[in-house]
Chain A
Amino acid sequence: MANKSLQHSSLTDNIFYRSMLAGNDAYFPEFESDDFLEEVVLTTSASSVTFSGLASYATAGYKHLQIRIAVRGAVSGGLGGFRVQVNSDSSESYRIHRLYGNGSTVVSQTGSGSYLVFGDTIPNSGVTSGAFATIVLDLLDYASNSKNTTVRTLSGLAGSSSAVQLSSGVYLNTDAVTSLNLSQDFNFDLAVGSRFSLYGSKA
């Protein structure tokens, strides 16, 4: 954001401004610490997407991570589950709770297993062509080695197969997160055009 010079200011209306920001773009300090880190956009279908090397972002000072996802599945059928695995750990170390609305009822569920599964999320070929589900996944304090890792998601898709979902998951391990593997449940492929964008926050 470039500050405008008072020498060339357009402030000629003889009005007293109490703020030196007058005439400049509004300043939003809460956004200053968030950065785009990397991205995967599928040009062919794939069974999973992995973000590795997350330790380097911790070294760079990023305290929290966010993955913004627009995703579609590549198999026959309706909505599939969205799966997250931490540090390639396939032990029974994950638990989730989710609250989702399907357009008629609100359902609360819990589950545990060898990865986090957020059900009824990814549309496959049986769902309206061109419709991608969206997921915002937040990973807080991912680099801590004294806390279990908490994951929260907001996801949804509206249309013939509809669901909006709030979920929280935990990886019951205090190791710092160095990699994340994202996939569809049952190892069904992810479709071309699916996008996974990684952001870091230093605040």
Chain B
Amino acid sequence: MTAKFTVLGNTTLATASSSVTFGSIPGGYKDLVLVVTGTKTVSGVAGLRVQANSDTGNNYHVVNMEGDGSTASSAASSPNDYIEGSNSRSFSTVSVASASVVIFDFSATDKHKSVLSRSSRADGTEGYAYASASRWASTSAITSLLAYSSSGNFAAGSTFRLLGVN
């Protein structure tokens, strides 16, 4: 049997950085999974955002759903200029957050790129359970991904792992 996952990229930040780029992503896989765990460098909060193939245009669509322990909410951004990997308060200096972004049929040239994301944060200050669906409205195969912070930098030690699903 073929193993489900192949590791395509793995970055642990040696110094703080606002983004990580995975370039030259090979085809031959069905889906991509980006897993990010980490914290933010200075006070405040941030979310994980992703762009494909250096596309900074309003070619993305997002719908999300989250709960913070007292309130459940849903919002949509359509169009948008990024794939949403977490809510905007997931990454902080308080605790390690995690987010996963799954891009289906990333190398297909007859489909838009549909994405499912989940993230979590739970500490003494705040907590969120979050899920979202995004779509990059392009039939181009994805060959690069930019994972970046919505505000400030990810701290040293934050990890970014890209997997191909066979």
Contact = CB atoms under 8 A, between A and B. Distances in A.
Interface stretch (B3-11, B14-22, B36-44, B88-96): B3-11
A32 interface: yes
Q: For B2, B30, B110, B135, which residue has the most chain A Cβ atoms within 10 angstroms?
A: B135
A102 B133 CA distance: 10
Given A156-B116, A158-B134, A195-B105, A102 B3 contact: no
Chain A at the B interface: mostly helix, strand, loop or mixed?
strand
Chain B at the A interface: mostly helix, strand, loop or mixed?
strand
Interface in B14-66: 30-31, 61-65
Kindly state the interface size class of chain B when it binds its partner. 35 or more
B1 A158 contact: no
Nearest to A104: B74
Contacts of A21: none
14 contacts: A28-B5, A35-B4, A70-B111, A99-B65, A104-B75, A104-B76, A106-B65, A130-B110, A131-B137, A133-B114, A134-B116, A156-B63, A159-B78, A199-B4
Given A103-B75, A158-B135, 4 more contacts: A101-B74, A102-B63, A154-B116, A156-B116
Nearest to B110: A193
Contacts of B147: none
Interface residues of A, number: 42
Interface in A85-120: 99-106
Nearest to A39: B30
A128 B137 contact: yes
Contacts of B2: 35-36
Given A31-B4, A130-B112, A156 B78 contact: no
A155 interface: yes
B142 interface: no
